[in-house]
Amino acid sequence: MAKLHSAIESNPLQHEKLVVRIKEILSRIASAGSAMRRAGRRGRQAQEDGPMENGAGQEPGVPEPPPSEGTSAPRPPRARPRLVFRTQLAHGSPTGRIEGFTNVKELYGKIAEVFSISPTEILFCTLNTHKVDMQKLLGGQIGLEDFIFAHVRGETKEVEVTKTEDALGLTITDNGAGYAFIK
């Protein structure tokens, strides 16, 4: 801290440039913060057609280069690296790689494309397990290391159920791509 203080005192012109630069950074942070607060009021719950976090955008954690003196031209946004996820069919298949989706419907389409099946054949997806585990169902968020297992429609089987109680006890849910299944 003492070195910084002595450097500021020895070069007042450099000090002024630093102050101007700090003010620019603070104003950017303030405007970004207000934009985030506005977005936060709208809610961040992932919806069927809402973006999952796999599109293009500003890459986080990469410092911006300092602007040239006398210019304040806006910089073009940097493209965020594409996120690539591993996937398999739950009943067994080679591992496929998918990327470039922004919602669940597109995710199912990408998985179907990799395995040459129709997206409507995918009933649901689980994360990190090939087993039918309703606690591991794919939701609105996927971790970078998550492995996606697609559970596809099998042979149609007809069953007969005898109801002896008031309630049947079935839970029907949506897979996020517009198709319902019994949980």
What pLDDT does 6 receive? 63
Strands 180-182 and 172-174: antiparallel
Is 132 domain-assigned? yes
Does the residue 106 lie in any domain? Answer: yes
Contacts of 87 (CB under 8 A, 6+ apart): 95, 96, 97, 98, 111, 114, 147, 148, 149, 150
Residue 131: give the domain boundaries: 85-156+169-182
In a domain, 35, yes or no: no
Which position has the token pair 């008031």?
Answer: 166
Q: What is the spatial distance between Cα 150 and Cα 95, in angstroms, rounded to a whole number?
A: 11
Residue 31 resides in a domain: no
- How many CB atoms are located within 10 Å of the residue 144 CB? 8
Confirm whether 178 is domain-assigned. yes
Looking at per-residue confidence, does 10 or 103 come out higher? 103
Number of structural domains the chain divides into: 1
CATH number for the domain harbouring residue 117: 3.10.20
pLDDT digits (tens, 9 = 90+) for 122-174: 888 888 888 988 888 887 778 888 899 999 988 888 988 888 888 878 888 77
The DSSP string of 2-40 is HHHHHHHHH-HHHHHHHHHHHHHHHHHHHHHHHHHHHHH
- pLDDT tens digits along 33-54: 555 555 554 444 444 444 554 4
> What is residue 13's predicted lDDT score, i.e. its pLDDT?
72
Percent of the chain at pLDDT exceeding 70? 66
123: left (phi over 0), alpha (psi -120 to 50) or beta: alpha
CB 106 within 8 A of CB 96: no
pTM: 0.53
Q: Tell whether 101 is covered by a domain.
A: yes
Burial label for 124, CB within 10 Å (0-12, 13-18, 19+), is buried
pLDDT for res 47: 43
Angle formed by the axes of helices 2-10 and 12-42, to 10°? Answer: 120
Asked whether residue 45 is assigned to any structural domain, the reply reads no
Q: Is position 95 within any domain?
A: yes
> What pLDDT was estimated at residue 45?
42
Cα 137 to Cα 146: distance, rounded to the nearest angstrom: 12
